[in-house]
Amino acid sequence: MNHFTAGMGGLSHIASDYLLNITEDRSGEVWVSSEFSGISRISVINEGSYRYFPEDKSLLDRSNTIRMVSRLDDGTIWMGTRKGGLYLYDENFQLKYVKKDFHSNIYAMRKDAEGKIWMGTRGDGLMIDNVWYKHQDGDASSLANDNIFCIYRDKKDRMWIGTFGGGLDLAIKTDKGYRFKHFLNGSYGQRQIRVICEDKNGMMWVGTSEGVYVFNPDLLIQNPGKYYLYNYVNRKLKSNEVRCILPGSKGRMWIGTAGAGFSMCEVKGDYRSLNFKCYSTHDGLSNDMVQSMAEDKKGNIWLATEYGVSKFVTESSTFENYFFSAYSQGNVYTENSSCVCRNGNILFGSNHGFVIIDPNVVKRSNASFPPVFTNLSVNGINMMPSDKDSPLTVSMPYSKEIRLSHSQNSFVVEFSSFNYSDAGQTKYSYRLVNYDKDWSAPSSLNFAAYKQLPYGEYELQVKACNSSGIWDEDIATLHIVVDPPFYLSAWAFLIYAILLITIAYFAFRIARNFNRLHNKIEIEKQLTEYKLVFFTNISHEFRTPLTLIQGALERVQRLDVNTKELAHPLQTMQKSTNRLLRLIDQLLEFRKMQNDKLALSLEETDVVAMIYEIFLSFGDMAESKNMDFQFAPSVSRYKMFVDKGKLDKMVYNLLSNAFKYTPQRGKVTLHVMVDEESGLLRIKVSDTGVGIPKEKRNQLFNRFMQSNFSGDSVGIGLHLTHELVQVHKGSIWYEENEGGGSVFVISLPLKTDSYEEKDFLIPNNALMREQHTAVLPDDGEQAVAEAVASTTLPLNQQKILVIEDDVDVRKYLKEELGAYFQVVTADNGVTGFEMASSEDPCLIVCDVLMPGMNGFEVTRKLKSEFDTSHIPVILLTALTLPENHLEGIESGADAYLSKPFSIKLLLARIIKLLEQREKLKAKFSEEPGIVRSAIYASERDKEFVDELHRVLEENLANARFSVDDFAAQMNVGRTVFYKKVKGVTGYSPNEYIRIMRMKKAAELLLGGKFTVAEVSYKVGIDDPFYFSKCFKSQFGVAPSVYQKGKA
């Protein structure tokens, strides 16, 4: 029985001796009320524990802070304090010896096999049987460091010393005392050794600041690197700093760490790969800083931490937490300060004396302390039931539900278990159902805070855990409702639904109307597209009969019928044909405009002369309507960059409209003004016609604008003209003629910087050369006629293949070309290709638009085939777009003519192509020296010629080298070889061999190193007389004369 009074040296549990009431609560706490001194709480500490103090327990220095506990074999216990004291207790904890004059703290004590006491200090080294050993600089056999944290005697009675800063030392006895062998002294953390122990297998475990080192001591002595390391780096432990190690009775090793709880290892023999299971406060441990460990007789592990003692029940892997002191320092335990007494009691050193625990008597508290909600704060304001806008109707402990407005969604709920005996160790965990995914981490904080919680219904659940690690089965619950703002309430959603239905209804109507309008527009676009496609196809078809008409007119003109009766009709027919062709081109241009494919092809032109030619073409119309038609240029000539085709269409359309809407005896004037000051070319067409009403002028350049005053549609003319002017970076506008009628003005830039680089034609490119040959100049007709006449006889043996699907055009071409060449025809591309292989023509004239295989495909196939790649091809087509023209050239065509074409132009192209081949042939045969022929028109021909020369050069001196040998080495049949050599070189194989030998002979003769006879043999001719004959036939002089003359 204890007697408590108010005057107990400051350690009294009551404030006054005049008591008014005493009561006990559910946890066993005693509450005492006294007169004029308030209430005192007396805690009944766990039964089965006893606390002793080396010095007076009222001392507040380190006199009672235990740092070392060591039980010797005789049961006596040595203790060292942080003040440097050393105390010896017997088994009944009676003090037997005291020594307080040590200069440093005693951290380790051990008795060796000889009964000598080994004592390690912090800073003063090691004392063995009253002989001190310290670290000596320069002496490798001295102590590694003067900070001794642990001493261990192994099963072979070897003494190991763990230093803090020098690693592990093994003491070796000598005649003069002891010398020390050093281990584990590499890294900084490795050198800091705190604990040494040995397991049942004789393997030593050393705890350092770098993890646990496990080794066989015999092997380590032989090889200092023979050890195993387990730490945080290799993911075996949760912390590198090991504070204590305990070998368990069941072969388990227990490792206490700093800040990460403790780990358990099941040792099964293989030390290379040990596995560790870790425990921490999350599992119920009182504190993660484990300082000391001990095992009771039941195999349970007792762990002294920096705050409290935990009992780990090994069978259930559960924890029981105890606090054996009402004074906080009494619950703070020190490092490696524990032992198990002979009677089974466990001793732990703390910052406030040492405590002796009887594991059989100490029991955990089973009292229940369910949490209770104590307070509510909303938006940082404490809420009471009587407050304005408070969600509480009763006080918080009695509230089962709270309802918060949408502006009160940030709140704090406080709770408590009202357990005053737990020394502040009660932990709480909570979760908000429908918001939190899991329970919160256990914490001593007794509140739950939520910010900007979404509206909805929730349930706050709170559970409490006492100091023994037992979670209370009763969970406190609080139903919380956060109302939504009005704009998210049910009434608001009803209003939204009505509005959405209304909006959807009107949106549907609008979308339906737009869809109908869109469908109408699409149908109109499709109809317009179909019309344009139809007229485009018709215009292409018109070109074929126009070709026949134009050809027939040319033929009649060649008959030299100079009667006055025929002259005018023929001229009229020619002009009508040209006009129809111009209209077709205009329709195609409009088609390109619709597809956004209008592009400029600028070239330098005398615009005044060009516009004057267009002016002259309207002379007959002006004469027939008895109109005053004048041309008024500001300069006689002016060169600038224009697209001739587009400028022609612009001026022609304006003049056509002027003549169309101007009555007889009217006046039409074409003005051309060059204004270099403003950098503009102005073309003005004025007439005295019906004019344009004011209300229609803003629609002048719209497509198919209807003119009420004329009853006709203006059509696509002005619209196309407007688009062409825009492409040409110019502008067009309408002015009213003062004397009545209309004035249209076109303005184009004079300078080239208004255009982009891609707008200009590249000089001398393939497209320009073909376009320039599309229309013959006046003096060109005579040149063609002369060329035809002069080459009629030389060319009449050459064969021309005509591939044309139109019967009339095919017949027409055969009649016209038949006068000068042998003509064979084919009515489709497939047949034409077959005939090109069988007939071996000198040239092929092919239409483009044909069923089956079109002209482009025929050309590509001809140029890709070995037998026909050398044959020139001229394409005839009604397709006049630049991209069509470019496709024809890229397919391999040698010429590209647009329908309707002039038969004179076609003949001129044929003659020039054949003449070019003849000239190359003559040049190749007459020039001495082996020069490669340039008469190939494809890459395959080039490869064939290169191989031809290689084989011939290798066999040039072989007199028996025949055409059959030549063909065999070229891997070609004799017939195909003959045709190919003839087509590429213009000579038969025998002629080609002879010419190449003569050219080689001329080269050798020029060298002057060989006689004529020697040269004859070197070029493969055994008969010098025959050689001289051939050489004179080739070059016109005898070889000897040639040699002397060139020399």
* Alpha helix (H) residue ranges in 324-482: none
Do 609 and 749 sit in the same domain of this protein? yes
- How far the first Cα of the chain sits from its last, in Å, is 149
Do 856 and 999 sit in the same domain of this protein? no
Do 424 and 558 sit in the same domain of this protein? no
In a domain, residue 3? The reply is yes
**Token reading at 196:** 């040494």
CATH number at residue 647: 3.30.565.10
Model confidence band, residue 889 (pLDDT cutoffs 50, 70, 90):
confident
Query: For residue range 70-88, what is the model confidence (pLDDT) as tens digits?
Result: 998 888 999 999 988 999 9
Which one of 916, 935, 955 terminates a domain?
916
Lowest-confidence region among 132-141, 177-186, 767-776: 767-776
Residues 817/876, Cβ–Cβ less than 8 Å: no
Return the top range by mean pLDDT from 392-396, 775-779, 1018-1022.
Answer: 392-396
Model confidence band, residue 365 (pLDDT cutoffs 50, 70, 90):
low
Residues 655/611, Cβ–Cβ less than 8 Å: no
Residues 318/306, Cβ–Cβ less than 8 Å: no
**Single-letter amino acid, residue 358:** D
Query: For residue range 671-699, what is the model confidence (pLDDT) as tens digits?
Result: 999 998 899 999 999 999 888 887 777 77
In a domain, residue 922? The reply is no
Lowest-confidence region among 186-200, 247-261, 646-660: 646-660
Model confidence band, residue 710 (pLDDT cutoffs 50, 70, 90):
very low
In a domain, residue 180? The reply is no
**Token reading at 939:** 């890459």
Q: What's the confidence (pLDDT) of residue 426?
A: 82
Closest by CA position to 111, among listed 85, 146, 73? 73
Do 596 and 616 sit in the same domain of this protein? no
Closest by CA position to 462, among listed 382, 379, 395, 397? 397
| CA 181 from centre of chain | 61
Q: How far is CA 312 from CA 249, 287, 319, 322, 734, in A?
A: 14, 13, 5, 11, 105
Do 723 and 781 sit in the same domain of this protein? no
* Euclidean distance between CA atoms 490 and 311, whole angstroms: 57
**Token reading at 909:** 């192209």
Query: For residue range 539-552, what is the model confidence (pLDDT) as tens digits?
Result: 666 666 777 676 67
Q: How far is CA 523 from CA 66, 512, 706, in A?
A: 101, 16, 21
Query: For residue range 236-285, what is the model confidence (pLDDT) as tens digits?
Result: 999 999 999 999 988 899 999 999 999 999 998 789 889 999 999 888 88
Q: What's the confidence (pLDDT) of residue 986?
A: 67
Q: Phi/psi of residue 219, each to 5°?
A: -70, -35
CATH number at residue 779: 3.40.50.2300
Query: For residue range 1013-1037, what is the model confidence (pLDDT) as tens digits?
Result: 888 877 878 778 778 888 877 777 8
CATH number at residue 424: 2.60.40.10
Q: Which residue has the higher pLDDT, 919 or 807?
A: 807
Residues 50/57, Cβ–Cβ less than 8 Å: no
Do 667 and 654 sit in the same domain of this protein? yes
Q: What's the confidence (pLDDT) of residue 704?
A: 47
CATH number at residue 540: 1.10.287
* Euclidean distance between CA atoms 973 and 837, whole angstroms: 14
pLDDT over 60 at 783, yes or no: no
**Single-letter amino acid, residue 319:** F
Do 633 and 529 sit in the same domain of this protein? no
Q: Which residue has the higher pLDDT, 472 or 558?
A: 472
* Euclidean distance between CA atoms 163 and 122, whole angstroms: 9
Percentage of residues in the chain with pLDDT exceeding 90?
A: 38
| This prediction's pTM | 0.47
Which one of 488, 510, 525 terminates a domain?
488
Residues 290/300, Cβ–Cβ less than 8 Å: no
Backbone φ/ψ region at 536: left (φ over 0), alpha (ψ -120 to 50), beta: alpha
Percentage of residues in the chain with pLDDT exceeding 70?
A: 84
For residue 839, how many other CB atoms are within 10 A of its CB?
16
Query: For residue range 134-168, what is the model confidence (pLDDT) as tens digits?
Result: 999 999 999 999 999 999 999 999 999 999 999 99
**Token reading at 10:** 């400051």
Do 961 and 939 sit in the same domain of this protein? yes
Q: What's the confidence (pLDDT) of residue 708?
A: 41
Query: For residue range 901-918, what is the model confidence (pLDDT) as tens digits?
Result: 778 888 888 888 877 776
**Token reading at 188:** 């900084």
Q: What's the confidence (pLDDT) of residue 591?
A: 60
In a domain, residue 202? The reply is no
Do 649 and 740 sit in the same domain of this protein? yes
In a domain, residue 586? The reply is yes
Q: Which residue has the higher pLDDT, 348 or 369?
A: 348
Mean pLDDT of 591-610: 77
* Euclidean distance between CA atoms 961 and 129, whole angstroms: 119
Which one of 569, 600, 631 terminates a domain?
600
**Mean pLDDT score of the chain, rounded to an integer?**
83
DSSP state for residue 45 in the 8-state scheme = P
Model confidence band, residue 593 (pLDDT cutoffs 50, 70, 90):
low
For residue 1030, how many other CB atoms are within 10 A of its CB?
20
In a domain, residue 890? The reply is yes
Beta-bridge mates of residue 258: 289
Q: Phi/psi of residue 824, each to 5°?
A: -120, 150
Do 35 and 8 sit in the same domain of this protein? yes
Query: For residue range 844-881, what is the model confidence (pLDDT) as tens digits?
Result: 999 888 877 888 898 888 888 877 777 889 988 777 66
For residue 962, how many other CB atoms are within 10 A of its CB?
13
Q: Which residues of 884-918 are buried (b: 16+ CB within 10 A; e: fewer)?
A: bbebbbebbbbbbbbbbbbbbbbbbbbbebbeebb
Q: Phi/psi of residue 453, each to 5°?
A: -70, 130
Model confidence band, residue 89 (pLDDT cutoffs 50, 70, 90):
very high
Lowest-confidence region among 27-31, 581-585, 834-838: 581-585
Q: Which residue has the higher pLDDT, 764 or 130?
A: 130
Residues 283/270, Cβ–Cβ less than 8 Å: no
Closest by CA position to 339, among listed 296, 309, 294? 294
Residues 865/840, Cβ–Cβ less than 8 Å: no
| CA 295 from centre of chain | 61
Closest by CA position to 150, among listed 87, 196, 84, 204? 196
Q: Phi/psi of residue 948, each to 5°?
A: -60, -45
In a domain, residue 1017? The reply is yes
Do 653 and 560 sit in the same domain of this protein? no
In a domain, residue 313? The reply is no
Q: Tokens 């460091």 — which residue?
A: 145
* Domain enclosing residue 555, as ranges: 493-600
pLDDT over 70 at 499, yes or no: yes
Query: For residue range 2-21, what is the model confidence (pLDDT) as tens digits?
Result: 677 776 554 567 778 888 88
* Euclidean distance between CA atoms 214 and 424, whole angstroms: 39
The domain tally of the chain equals 6
Mean pLDDT of 106-116: 92
Pairing mode of beta strands 167-174, 177-183: antiparallel
Pairing mode of beta strands 354-357, 49-52: antiparallel
CATH number at residue 955: 1.10.10.60
Residues in the chain: 1047
Query: For residue range 303-314, what is the model confidence (pLDDT) as tens digits?
Result: 999 998 999 999
Q: Any residues with CB less than 8 A from the CB of 413 and at least 6 apart, and which?
A: 373, 375, 376, 447, 448, 460, 478
Q: Any residues with CB less than 8 A from the CB of 144 and at least 6 apart, and which?
A: 135, 163, 165, 166, 167, 168, 169, 180, 182, 185, 191
* Euclidean distance between CA atoms 971 and 944, whole angstroms: 11
* Euclidean distance between CA atoms 64 and 820, whole angstroms: 135
Query: For residue range 732-750, what is the model confidence (pLDDT) as tens digits?
Result: 998 888 878 889 999 999 9
Do 556 and 609 sit in the same domain of this protein? no
